[in-house]
Amino acid sequence: MRAYYDRRAREYDDWWLGTGLFADRERPGWHQETEALVATIAALPPAPTIDVACGTGFLTRHLAGEVVGLDQSENMLAVAQEQVPRARFVRGDALALPFPNDSFERVFASYFYCHLEENERPLFLAEARRVARELVVVASRWDEDDPRERWEERVLNDGSRWEVYKRVFEPEQLADELGGADVLFAGRWFVAVRSAET
């Protein structure tokens, strides 16, 4: 998957912005909902945060407080550093986070958890809990016409085709899967939940 994200780095935000190959995609209310999701993220209390699989930093830039972005793709990190110069970026493995226990107050993961296969999920959750007490996850909302999990074909601007594993969630389903969480955002396209150890 690293090769896919390396090649997609400069065009990744087209998905968020509805540009490039996504310009003609029918997504009613997408831009308004993206703005509402961003406002929800920006309203989180400032905290030392690790943004796991930060990608281009599209959402990283809205996190308040001291932020470290982690990704396995050098090209994604290069774009993220351009977009969020105030943050620190580290190349690393999200399933073996290169940080000591309790290094942060919050783990933020946007469009990462939904790509984890069954055997990877407990590894990520254990790592997230090891480095922080709070976990915020952003993912795609399930639509009744879509399978809850599938392999999707992704086509890049260069014409290359890739198969990517993806899951979509109802808010309560994702909250339960994370061990009990508060639903921060539930729209037509996005869901965000926050789980904290007590």
Provide the whole-model pTM.
0.95
We report the CATH number of the domain holding residue 145 as 3.40.50.150
State the virtual CA torsion across 40, 118, 12, 110 in degrees, nearest 10.
20
- Looking at residue 197, its pLDDT comes to 73
Question: Pick from 42, 104, 41, 34: which is nearest to 69 by CA?
Answer: 104
Which single residue is written with the structure tokens 């110069």? 85
Residue 89's closest CA among 102, 100, 76? Answer: 76
Q: Which amino acid is at 81?
A: Q
Long-range contact set of residues 27-36: C-beta below 8 Å, sequence gap at least 24: 27/189, 28/188, 29/187, 29/188, 29/189, 30/189, 33/187, 33/188, 33/189, 33/190, 34/189, 34/190, 36/185, 36/187
Please report the pLDDT score of residue 96 as a whole number. 97
Question: Rounded to whole angstroms, how far apart are CA atoms 74 and 62?
Answer: 21
pLDDT tens track, the chain, 198 positions = 788 999 999 999 999 999 999 999 999 999 999 999 999 999 999 999 999 999 999 999 999 999 999 999 999 999 999 999 999 999 999 999 999 999 999 999 999 999 999 999 999 999 999 999 999 999 999 998 889 999 999 999 999 999 999 999 999 999 999 988 899 999 999 999 999 875
The parent domain of residue 8 ranges over 2-196
Number of domains in the chain: 1
d(CA 77, CA 150): 27
Residue 106's DSSP bridge partners are 49, 134
Nearest to 91 by CA among 77, 110, 109, 102: 77
| pLDDT value of position 121 | 96
